[in-house]
Amino acid sequence: MKQRDRIKMTPDEIDAFVRGRHTMSVATVGPDGRVHLVAMWYGFLDGAPAFETYRKSQKVVNLLRDPRMTCMIEDGDTYEELRGVELVGTGEVVEDEDRLLEVARSVVARYHALTGEEAEAMARILMRKRVAVKVNVEHVVSWDHGKMAMPASG
């Protein structure tokens, strides 16, 4: 078995990892063809990763011109702990207020220690002058170095 196959996560492991509380690196294609890369907190929309951002942000401008994007969610402090998921697909810019509120609520629930009215107020603040971006995933790459037996040192 190839090492690449040994460290690949199962679909259930990928789902659990993506649903964990991480930061997602978001890469879009800039106007000059270079990669524009930013870190984002994310929630979910229709079961897919999604984030809210300013309507005039460079990533939204890029996605409106070229919807291709790649996202990476990763963690681990040592080599044998490295885990991650790469999501390759397209970004769908969402301006519908109800759907944007759904994303904002999801982000608040995942990253802020707020509940009830405070959580709802924060979600509504996150909506101001913003849109949501839903990641329409076409291809997934995953790795979990914890699945790899490390040779004994000595």
Tell which CATH architecture fits domain 3-146: Roll (2.30)
Domain borders along the chain are 3-146
Side by side, which strands form the sheet with 24-29? 35-40, 24-29, 68-75, 83-94, 130-144, 48-54, 43-45
Residue 112 identity (one-letter amino acid): H
**Per-residue model confidence as pLDDT tens digits over 81-96:** 999 999 999 999 999 9
The pTM assigned to this predicted structure is: 0.90
How many CA atoms are closer than 13 Å to the CA of 101, on its beta-carbon side? 7
**Per-residue model confidence as pLDDT tens digits over 100-128:** 999 999 999 999 988 899 999 999 988 88
